[in-house]
């Protein structure tokens, strides 16, 4: 019986099934609790949904604010095109379109269990693999956000985790097709979420170091992957140059993001009241100036504010750090005291896995695990983009599977302190 229970608890199929059932159950609950008219429209009334609507109506990649504002490079193209396909087949702003989009998000986050499991198995055995996948299966953010948020975060969680899995697996590969596939995976990921590009040179550098240390040829393979990544960006870059007459390889939004988080009206908790999608004055400026000039203006204002208000900037960056790792609040103690039981659980879960990830990183480096560096990069590097701009719960979701993985490593060290060596170490 114990063997059967252990086999079930460590079975990837069981974990995936439970993860799927939890998310489908919440989808049913959510649609029962909210009017169909509301869920058909409200989740899509943001930039990704508005651009997708423009595409579905036969217009160009444009109009992120629910009104006609002309061409945009607000987001990379993959997720808006995916939503546009949903609108095309199920109708724009319909209940069927919402169900289809939510089911896609559910599929993405559920499938993320697979790369998490195999990464965990590679670095720490089946206990770490199952622990990481179970944590992701029951992680509240990964249950709530697929239903409530029609953004790219769920797809990016799957892509980012698959990139880490592919990076660890390809390190010893000599087949060119593997390196071509790796470059293509990166190209699709960057065309979905531009922030993740920060990891590309670091992971390629780690692969080069591994190959150099093993005295294997690496320049040609890594150059091939990098070239394919660049080629994936070429069509979008050409389109942006033809439309805006500027070199915009990924997206145009940085200036606004920086300004929204760094100006004299910025609140400790981001409310969105300065965002052009809500603020009519800012939207009018955006339309009058055009997207690129507006973004450049906002970037200049933000940089000036940052340089002239260093104390305030430290305070805001600290709040954003806490918000990212607490699940959305810069004041977790106050929030906990005033929240109901379910939000308290979500807060505590986020804080627990944040601490767990930190101890997991320490554990991997203490064990001299050969995979410590690439695994640690995700929670250490990606959040910096949000410490400096805005911190929303969905921004962290792409790296949350790796946070669960690191927490599983820490839990194994806590439960089995004598077993302080994982299977793959530097002298293996």
In a domain, 283, yes or no: yes
Residue percentage of the chain with pLDDT more than 90: 84
In a domain, 422, yes or no: no
Q: Is the pLDDT of residue 424 over 60?
A: no
Report yes or no on whether pTM surpasses 0.85: yes
In a domain, 424, yes or no: no
Using only the alpha carbons of the chain, give its radius of gyration.
22
Question: Residue 263 is encoded by which pair of tokens?
Answer: 């100006």
Q: How far is CA 191 from the centre of its chain?
A: 13
Containing H/E element for 298? helix 291-308
Total domains in the chain come to 1
Could you tell me if 62 and 54 are in contact, meaning their C-beta atoms sit under 8 angstroms apart? Answer: yes
Range of the domain at 183: 2-415
Q: How far is CA 122 from the centre of its chain?
A: 23
Q: How would residue 422 be classed by pLDDT, with cut points 50, 70 and 90?
A: very low
Distance (Å, rounded) from C-alpha 155 to C-alpha 176?
Answer: 26
In a domain, 420, yes or no: no
pLDDT, tens only, 27-56: 999 999 999 999 999 999 999 999 999 999
Distance (Å, rounded) from C-alpha 250 to C-alpha 234?
Answer: 10
| Overall residue count recorded for the chain in this entry | 428
Could you tell me if 192 and 80 are in contact, meaning their C-beta atoms sit under 8 angstroms apart? Answer: no
Q: Is the pLDDT of residue 117 over 70?
A: yes
Q: Please give the full DSSP string across 85-97, using - where no structure is assigned.
A: HHHHHH-TT-HHH
DSSP state for residue 399 in the 8-state scheme: G
Distance (Å, rounded) from C-alpha 182 to C-alpha 159?
Answer: 11
- C-alpha closest to that of 385 among 197, 164, 229: 197
Q: Is the pLDDT of residue 163 over 80?
A: yes
In a domain, 421, yes or no: no
In a domain, 427, yes or no: no
Bridge partners of 71? 62
The pLDDT value given to residue 229: 97
In a domain, 391, yes or no: yes
Distance (Å, rounded) from C-alpha 143 to C-alpha 136?
Answer: 9
pLDDT, tens only, 238-277: 999 999 999 999 999 999 999 999 999 988 777 788 999 9
The pLDDT value given to residue 254: 93
In a domain, 48, yes or no: yes
The pLDDT value given to residue 222: 94
Distance (Å, rounded) from C-alpha 158 to C-alpha 147?
Answer: 16
Distance (Å, rounded) from C-alpha 101 to C-alpha 148?
Answer: 10
DSSP state for residue 198 in the 8-state scheme: G
- C-alpha closest to that of 320 among 268, 378, 356: 268
Distance (Å, rounded) from C-alpha 394 to C-alpha 109?
Answer: 12
């Amino acid at each position: 019986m114990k063997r059967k229970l252990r086999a079930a608890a460590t079975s990837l199929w069981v974990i995936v099934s439970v993860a799927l059932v939890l998310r489908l159950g919440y989808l049913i609950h959510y649609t029962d609790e909210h009017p169909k008219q509301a869920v058909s429209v409200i989740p899509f009334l943001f930039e990704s949904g508005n651009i997708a609507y423009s595409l579905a109506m036969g217009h160009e990649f444009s109009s992120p604010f629910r009104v006609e504002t002309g061409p945009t490079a607000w987001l990379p193209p993959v997720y808006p095109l995916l939503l546009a396909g949903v609108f095309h087949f199920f109708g724009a702003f319909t209940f069927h379109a919402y169900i289809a989009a939510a089911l896609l998000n559910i599929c993405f986050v559920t499938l993320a269990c697979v790369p998490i499991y195999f990464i965990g198995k590679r670095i720490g055995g089946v206990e770490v693999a199952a622990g990481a996948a179970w944590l992701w299966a029951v992680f509240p953010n990964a249950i709530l956000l697929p239903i409530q948020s029609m953004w790219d975060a769920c797809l990016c969680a799957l892509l980012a985790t698959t990139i880490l899995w592919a990076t660890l697996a390809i390190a010893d590969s000599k087949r060119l097709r593997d390196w071509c596939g790796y470059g293509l995976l990166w190209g699709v990921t960057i065309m979905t979420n531009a922030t993740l590009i920060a990891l590309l040179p670091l992971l390629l550098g780690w692969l080069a170091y591994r190959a150099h240390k093993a005295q294997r040829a690496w320049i040609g393979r890594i150059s091939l992957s990098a070239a394919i990544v660049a080629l994936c960006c070429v069509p979008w870059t050409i389109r942006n140059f033809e439309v805006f007459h500027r070199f915009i390889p990924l997206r145009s939004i940085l200036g606004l993001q920086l300004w929204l988080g760094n100006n004299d009206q910025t609140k400790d908790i981001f409310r969105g009241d300065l965002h052009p999608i809500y603020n009519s004055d800012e939207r009018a400026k955006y339309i009058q100036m055009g997207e690129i000039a507006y973004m450049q203006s906002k970037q200049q204002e933000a940089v000036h504010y940052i340089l002239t208000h260093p104390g305030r900037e430290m305070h805001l960056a600290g709040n954003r750090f806490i918000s990212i790792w607490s699940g959305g609040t810069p004041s977790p103690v106050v929030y906990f005291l005033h929240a109901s039981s379910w939000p308290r659980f979500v807060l505590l879960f986020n804080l627990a896995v944040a601490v767990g990830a930190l101890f997991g990183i320490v554990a991997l480096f203490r064990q001299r695990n050969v995979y410590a560096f690439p695994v640690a990069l995700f929670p250490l590097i990606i959040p910096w983009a949000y410490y400096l701009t805005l911190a929303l719960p969905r921004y962290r979701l792409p790296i949350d599977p790796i946070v669960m993985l690191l927490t599983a490593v820490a839990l194994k060290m806590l439960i089995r302190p004598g077993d302080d060596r994982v299977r793959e170490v530097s002298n293996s």
